[in-house]
Amino acid sequence: MVQDIRIQKTFEALFALEDIREIFREALPTGLDETEDREFMKKVSELKEIISELESGKGNVKVSRLAGNLPIRDKEESFINIQPIQAAGRLTVEARKALIAYGDGYSTCDSCKKPFRLDKITKPGIADFHTELAEFLNMDEARVVPGARRGFQAVASSLVEKGDIAIVSALSHYTEFLSVENAGGIVKEVPLNENNVITAEATAEKIEAVIRETGKVPKIVMMDHFDYLFANEHEIKEIAKVSHQYDIPLLYNGAYTVGVMPVDGKALGADFVVGSGHKSMASVAPSGVLATTEEWAPVVFRTTQMKGDLTARKFGIKEVEMLGCTLMGGTLFSMMASFPAVQERVKHWDEEVNKSNYLVDKILSISGSRVLSEYPRKHALTKIDTTDSFDTVAKTHPKRGYYLHDELSKRGITGVFPGATKAWKLSTYGLSWPKVRYLADSFAEIAEKYGLEVRENGE
């Protein structure tokens, strides 16, 4: 795959503009002096040259690394990226612009006034954004957090004390384990059924067993709506109901749902809804959301009660679990800039699922391929098993398992783990139909090239 030089030149033009911007940052507010003016003119003419190379599609690579060691990342420009954790975290163009404008450290804090808390800032509309986030999830209160994991941590740290039990799924994410461990608690896992799904019945049985064996009622049930391994849908609504029968609050882990599909916290019966900004809300990392109900807000968003023994200082309405303020710059503004697009895109989840099924069907038409996730797919992420298709080629190929990665790279496809030909994951999230068809055709083409049988399945 030949990388289009115009992509390279686009980066160079962006960098050249930043160099120009830097001149203004260095200058006195009264304007550029003579030297700066000369520098400015020089940089502008360099930019013009880059623009003309951009136009003609000719030229050499002038910038290959930033600060001597950071290569330019052109994965999203030069490739179709099917890496599942990256698909829905790709920034919108508005988020990228926001990052340019608000990348400086504490850029949220320009107009921070008493009572000095991030979610109270009205200029720009950070307070409104918090209100809208809560509405978006149909919950009462929301805070932005540095990743879904920090949402779990805030909840676990508020509800779980030493030796307390948290119920999680046998497919729970490691960060759920760690958040409980961090609070001094113990996880107990609900087993999967034969279809790799967590049922409400299994959850009830686990809660019963824990109560029987330990004499303790679990403090929280943390459950993934779609898990990270198969992206199977678990019985989240029914699990919430079961949890409530034991008076246990439910944390809805929406790392793979909030920001890609509609999530109605109240309808699901969630006491806490956690989402990941960088995984599913087209935002800069680390970002995420923790939303809760009126009932639980005073617990998880409790304010500081501490008083300094010497100075008698108190810090008013700062929230303990948030450590005061959370996303103070480009992370938050990228979330805010992407939010209108995110609100819109969740309405088109069905179409994303259609794309997912289209590609999976094509892969299944390659003889020997299997899908390990539930099928038909209800999510854009899928785990497939190509042990009896692509991996049979790896056995004799001089490059072994790496051949598939190479063949995909040649076709401008990235995001498959190098060497993986057995069980691996992919996501079609956010890809246009032409890209999805291109992907499907590429897999079929590679299969045919290596003599694997590709069935015509009514396409």
Ligand X SMILES: *Cc1c(COP(=O)(O)O)cnc(C)c1O
Q: How many CB atoms lie within 10 A of CB 244?
A: 14
Those residues whose C-beta lies under 8 Å from the C-beta of residue 426, and which sit 6 or more positions away, are 82, 83, 84, 359, 381, 382, 384, 415, 416
Pick one of 108, 169, 253, 365: the residue that binds ligand X (CB under 6 A). Answer: 253
How far is residue 427's CA from residue 88's CA, in Å, rounded to a whole number? 9
Query: Which tokens go with 258?
Result: 């909030």
Stretch that binds ligand X, among 126-134, 146-154, 235-243, 422-430 (CB under 6 A): 146-154
Q: Would you count residue 228 as binding ligand X (CB under 6 A)?
A: yes
# residues contacting ligand X (CB under 6 A): 15
CB of 300 to ligand X, least distance (A): 17
Whether the CB-CB separation of 438 and 431 falls below 8 Å is answered with no
Binding mask 307-326 for ligand X (x = CB under 6 A): --------------------
CB of 240 to ligand X, least distance (A): 17
Angle at 139 between CA 138 and CA 141, to 5 degrees: 140
Closer to ligand X at the Cβ: 147 or 401?
A: 147
Residue 125, strand partner residues: none
Stretch that binds ligand X, among 20-28, 142-150, 322-330, 353-361 (CB under 6 A): 142-150
CB of 187 to ligand X, least distance (A): 14
Query: Which tokens go with 18?
Result: 């930043």
Q: Would you count residue 147 as binding ligand X (CB under 6 A)?
A: yes
Q: Which of residues 167-186 bind ligand X (CB under 6 A)?
A: 173, 175
Beta strands of 110-226 (E only): which ranges? Answer: 141-145, 165-169, 186-190, 220-224
CB of 70 to ligand X, least distance (A): 22
Closer to ligand X at the Cβ: 173 or 219?
A: 173
CB of 249 to ligand X, least distance (A): 18
CB of 330 to ligand X, least distance (A): 16
Stretch that binds ligand X, among 29-37, 238-246, 251-259, 361-369 (CB under 6 A): 251-259
Whether the CB-CB separation of 319 and 297 falls below 8 Å is answered with no
Q: Would you count residue 148 as binding ligand X (CB under 6 A)?
A: yes
CB of 275 to ligand X, least distance (A): 8
Whether the CB-CB separation of 122 and 264 falls below 8 Å is answered with no
Stretch that binds ligand X, among 126-134, 223-231, 242-250, 260-268 (CB under 6 A): 223-231
CB of 296 to ligand X, least distance (A): 20
Amino acid at 254: G
Pick one of 185, 218, 259, 288: the residue that binds ligand X (CB under 6 A). Answer: 288
Whether the CB-CB separation of 78 and 1 falls below 8 Å is answered with yes
Q: Would you count residue 269 as binding ligand X (CB under 6 A)?
A: no
Q: Would you count residue 252 as binding ligand X (CB under 6 A)?
A: no
Stretch that binds ligand X, among 147-155, 201-209, 304-312, 408-416 (CB under 6 A): 147-155
How far is residue 141's CA from residue 44's CA, in Å, rounded to a whole number? 48
Q: Would you count residue 276 as binding ligand X (CB under 6 A)?
A: yes
Closer to ligand X at the Cβ: 47 or 82?
A: 82
Q: For residue 401, what is the DSSP state? A: T
Amino acid at 337: A
Owner of token pair 């590679």: 446
Q: Which of 193, 240, 255 is nearest to 379 (CA)?
A: 255
CB of 183 to ligand X, least distance (A): 16
CB of 375 to ligand X, least distance (A): 20
Backbone region of residue 139 per phi and psi (left: phi > 0; alpha: psi in -120 to 50; beta: other values): beta
State the first-to-last Cα distance of the chain, in angstroms, to the nearest integer: 28
How many CA atoms lie less than 13 Å away from 152 in the CB half-sphere? Answer: 28
Q: Would you count residue 272 as binding ligand X (CB under 6 A)?
A: no
Stretch that binds ligand X, among 59-67, 203-211, 275-283, 449-457 (CB under 6 A): 275-283
How far is residue 428's CA from residue 106's CA, in Å, rounded to a whole number? 35
Q: Would you count residue 279 as binding ligand X (CB under 6 A)?
A: yes
Collapsing DSSP to helix, strand or coil, 355 comes out as helix
Whether the CB-CB separation of 185 and 158 falls below 8 Å is answered with no
Q: Would you count residue 444 as binding ligand X (CB under 6 A)?
A: no
Q: Which of residues 28-57 bind ligand X (CB under 6 A)?
A: none
Report the interface residues with ligand X, using CB under 6 A: 147-149, 173, 175, 224, 227-228, 253, 255-256, 276, 278-279, 288
